[in-house]
Amino acid sequence: MTAHVNRLIADAMPQAPTGTVPTVSVTGVRALLEAFGRLGYDVEVLREAADLPRERLADPDGLVPCTAYGALIEAAQHARPRKNVALHLAQNTPIGAYPLIDYLVLSSPTLGEGLRRVSRYYRLVGSLTPLEVRDEEDPIRVVLDCNIPFFTEYSVALPLLHIGREAGGDVRAHHASFRHRPEDVAELEAAFGCEVRVDASWNGFALSRDAWGYVMPRRDPVLLGLLERHADAMMSSLPGHETFALRVRRAQANGLADGEASIEGIARTLAITPRTLQRRLADEGTTFQKELDQVRRSAAERHLKATMFSIAEISFVLGYSEPAAFHRAFRRWNRTTPQAFRAGQSTPTRARRGSIS
């Protein structure tokens, strides 16, 4: 048991980028403490062992170092060792313990759309475990990029148990997958109601397409819109936050300057497949064409304001096959023509051709 406790937490914390410390949300730590309390542990003893002051846990938007999270688990396991502790904690974590993430799923039209939102906003839970949806596959996989057994087991168990509760047992995973071997696989299978594959090549779970399309009983488009706006604001305030869409827009701008802004070309630049690029943009609620449209619009306005390029030249630089297509797009963006827009600006100056930056 002691060896497994050490394997769960010791020297397994993720490597953070230089100059940063990996963190988890205060919400997550509070949920964990409350679950330990439901299991009969002395929460105050655990909190003190993890050096977590009450005032720090009172901040709903706060973050704590992952080392404190690990110390909390270690203290609990030393006080009362328990097999499959991550599963038991998940079983004692109710829906709503992670309010924003939980209700984003519950208010989504379908389970699949809810899980997409979890993937998009997963950083709000902490900096530990990126989540990726691979919905081009069958069954559809939800892949967790984490090699820490405790976090992996908890992060797989929690959504599977919540899905089962919300769907009244009508939705079960196709299978769960772990790179490591949990202590009691049979107990996990009984709790999940599906096969658990161990020593696998990935962590996460898979759902059938029928399960993916399950209609959420508490779907609510008004609430969903409010929650997404709040989640977007929180994401934008995270330190070092850069969306994948921003990376794509930067590559598109460079691609336009080099004459190669196709989805295949941008995917090569980012060292991913076009399908993965499309999927990751979908996870952030956008598309390749929407991002390219915005890049072209910004570049068009900049050229019209600051250069003497002709309209035909700007059209060519932006990758349009003919000026008429550029005219139609510009009118859609600004409800005016490129000529009228330029006429309303100060006199532009000559600029180097081929640059849109």
Q: Per the structure block, which two tokens stand in for 169?
A: 């047992």
Is the pTM value of this prediction over 0.85?
A: no
> Could you tell me the pLDDT band of residue 171, with boundaries at 50, 70 and 90?
very high
Which range, 8-17, 36-45, 282-291, is most confident?
36-45
Which residue type occupies 121? Y
Lowest average pLDDT, out of 38-52, 55-69, 343-357, goes to: 343-357
Asked whether the predicted pLDDT for residue 249 surpasses 60, the reply is: yes
Mean per-residue pLDDT of the chain? 84
User: For 209, how many CA atoms within 13 A lie in the half-sphere containing its CB?
Assistant: 4
Which range, 104-108, 243-247, 296-300, is most confident?
104-108
Across 125-152, average pLDDT: 82
pLDDT at site 57 = 85
Closest CA to 137 of 244, 289, 279, 274: 279
Closest CA to 70 of 148, 3, 16, 122: 148
Is the four-CA dihedral 37, 41, 44, 48 of positive or negative sign? Answer: negative
SS3 assignment, position 197: strand
Q: Is the CB of residue 61 less than 8 Å from the CB of residue 127?
A: no
DSSP class of residue 215 equals B
Q: How far is CA 258 from the centre of its chain?
A: 31
> Could you tell me the pLDDT band of residue 61, with boundaries at 50, 70 and 90?
confident
Share of the chain above pLDDT 90, in %: 43
pLDDT at site 15 = 43
pLDDT at site 122 = 85
CA distance 181 to 187: 13
> Could you tell me the pLDDT band of residue 92, with boundaries at 50, 70 and 90?
very high
Task: State the residue for tokens 């991002």.
Answer: 291
CA distance 207 to 173: 5
Across 216-229, average pLDDT: 93
pLDDT at site 9 = 43
Closest CA to 305 of 348, 334, 355: 348
SS3 assignment, position 1: coil
Task: Show the domains of the chain with their CATH numbers.
Answer: 2-212 (3.90.1520), 242-357 (1.10.10.60)
Across 227-253, average pLDDT: 79
Asked whether the predicted pLDDT for residue 66 surpasses 80, the reply is: no
DSSP class of residue 345 equals S
Q: Is the CB of residue 307 less than 8 Å from the CB of residue 350?
A: yes
Q: How far is CA 55 from CA 51, 52, 96, 351, in A?
A: 12, 8, 22, 57
Lowest average pLDDT, out of 37-41, 43-47, 131-135, 199-203, goes to: 131-135
> Could you tell me the pLDDT band of residue 240, with boundaries at 50, 70 and 90?
low
Asked whether the predicted pLDDT for residue 73 surpasses 70, the reply is: yes
Q: Per the structure block, which two tokens stand in for 149?
A: 């057994």
Across 192-198, average pLDDT: 96
> Could you tell me the pLDDT band of residue 236, with boundaries at 50, 70 and 90?
confident
pLDDT at site 304 = 87
Question: How does pLDDT run across 264-321, given as a tens digit for each residue?
Answer: 999 888 888 898 888 888 877 789 998 898 888 888 888 888 778 889 988 888 888 8
Lowest average pLDDT, out of 32-46, 129-143, 150-164, 219-233, goes to: 129-143
> Could you tell me the pLDDT band of residue 18, with boundaries at 50, 70 and 90?
very low
Strands 63-65 and 131-134: unpaired
